[in-house]
């Protein structure tokens, strides 16, 4: 299966509720991003901690510690990197782990950094190993060793670089090597947003986009946005289209519900794939346990797509559970589909499974 630049299955970004950014999202987000830390909504603890780190560095007149931001896509890691540069009054250099294929690519970027400049590496866990090892020295001693020649005659020439602040972002912190992770002086994990926080974001975005939005319309969009600002902004734009074409342009509760029903995003933020996984697990496998491969075949998708795209949100919402024997539907899943859950005493929620269960449930 092909992957997106973020390392997720390529078809992930085709979903309306995908947390990954497509080309349209990137253009719109440049308009909607807050420019200062005080304007950033949500992540209160991270915001407060980061403000102290930046204020302290400004008082000392030195570059702040390197910053590592982790968490699911769409929560604001790139926005925070841009805010860090703005708060420091420093230029921002943006690149990504997959774009740095060789140590020479990284050396070329590092050698042109100015004093106090901020360098942002998205998906830093996907750095090539040679570039990663070069980054260790650059982060610690502000120096890179440029190798000239090959074989026994190769010579390492030390090259001093200007003090800089590295901001690394990753959606898979567990894949970061310990030596790289330990070189970050400040580490923050971004959590999913509460619906009330998403409402504020949606109202702000609607104001910037010139979308007339009623209070209950914003509430309805927020509760279906899966705790992710990027999804909230995308749903707002789709509801805006519906309101302009089929109504008077005002996003009300009724318009939001009608639009999101048309786009197959239900009241819990589940889309077609999510519901297909739930329905297969409940109706075809009696609530499970069912192996991942079996479940993927049942919904006509790749196993990786089910595991990476649908399953995390379903588990987070308490609709399915991962067990050593396979995936199991919870009573909430049955209720969400309008079905009556079986009696647990009869083994309905954790019965014998099927002949096709994966041995490990993975």
How is residue 345 written in tokens?
């005493």
Long-range contacts from 29-35, C-beta under 8 angstroms, 24+ separation: 29/79, 29/230, 29/233, 31/208, 31/209, 32/204, 32/205, 32/208, 32/209, 32/233, 33/79, 33/82, 34/79, 34/83, 35/82, 35/83, 35/86
Q: Is residue 77 flagged as an active site residue?
A: yes
Indicate if 122 belongs to the active site: yes
Give me 215's structure tokens.
């209070």
Which of helix, strand or coil describes residue 91? coil
Q: Which helix (H) or strand (E) holds 92?
A: strand 92-96
Given the residues 183, 224, 230, 240, the one annotated as active site: 230
Given the residues 171, 228, 252, 305, select the one marked as catalytic: 171
E-state strands within 190-325: 320-323
What one-character DSSP code corresponds to residue 183?
T
| 3-class DSSP state of 320 | strand
Q: Single out the catalytic residue among 12, 15, 25, 78.
A: 78
Q: Measure the CA–CA gap between 178 and 304, rounded to whole angstroms.
A: 26
Residues 333, 79: Cα–Cα separation, whole Å: 35
Active site residue 11: no
Say if residues 1 and 297 touch (Cβ distance below 8 Å): no
| Closest among 235, 310, 316 to 279, alpha carbons compared | 310
Active-site annotation holder among 77, 224, 275, 327: 77
Catalytic site residue from 122, 271, 274, 358: 122
Any bridge partners for residue 145, and if so which?
158
Per the annotation, the verdict on 95 as an active-site residue is no
Residue 78: active-site member:
yes
Residue 109 · residue 81 · CB < 8 Å: no
Q: Could you give the residue numbers annotated as active site?
A: 77-78, 122, 171, 230
């Amino acid at each position: 299966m092909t992957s997106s630049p973020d390392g997720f299955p390529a078809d992930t970004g085709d979903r309306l509720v995908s947390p990954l950014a497509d080309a349209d999202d990137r253009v719109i987000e440049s308009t909607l991003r807050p420019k200062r830390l005080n304007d950033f909504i949500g992540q209160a603890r991270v915001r407060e901690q980061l403000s102290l780190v930046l204020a302290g560095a400004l008082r000392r007149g030195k570059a702040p510690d390197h910053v590592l931001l982790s968490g699911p896509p769409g929560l604001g890691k790139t926005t925070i990197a841009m805010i860090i540069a703005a708060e420091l009054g420093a230029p921002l250099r943006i690149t990504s782990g997959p774009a740095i294929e060789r140590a020479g690519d990284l050396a070329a970027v590092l050698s042109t950094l100015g004093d106090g400049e901020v360098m942002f590496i998205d998906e830093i866990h996907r750095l090539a190993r040679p570039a990663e090892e070069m980054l260790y020295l650059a982060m610690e001693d502000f120096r890179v060793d440029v190798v000239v020649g090959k074989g026994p005659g190769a010579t390492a020439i030390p090259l001093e670089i200007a003090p800089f602040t590295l901001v690394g972002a990753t959606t898979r912190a567990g894949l970061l090597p310990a030596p790289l992770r330990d070189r970050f002086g400040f580490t923050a994990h971004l959590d999913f947003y509460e619906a009330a926080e998403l409402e504020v974001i949606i109202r702000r975005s609607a104001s910037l986009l010139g979308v007339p939005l009623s209070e209950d319309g914003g509430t309805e969009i927020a509760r279906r946005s899966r705790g992710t600002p990027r999804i909230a902004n995308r749903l707002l734009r789709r509801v805006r289209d519906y309101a302009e074409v089929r109504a008077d342009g005002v996003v009300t509760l009724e318009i939001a519900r009608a639009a999101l029903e048309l786009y197959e995003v239900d009241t819990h933020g589940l889309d077609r794939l999510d519901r297909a996984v739930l329905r297969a697990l409940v109706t075809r496998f009696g609530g499970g346990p069912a192996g991942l491969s079996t479940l993927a075949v049942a919904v006509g998708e790749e196993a990786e797509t089910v595991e990476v795209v649908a399953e995390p949100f379903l588990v987070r919402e308490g609709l399915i559970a991962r067990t050593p024997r396979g995936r199991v539907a919870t009573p909430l899943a049955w209720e969400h589909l309008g079905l009556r859950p079986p009696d647990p005493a009869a083994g309905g929620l954790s019965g014998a499974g099927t002949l096709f269960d994966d041995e490990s449930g993975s």
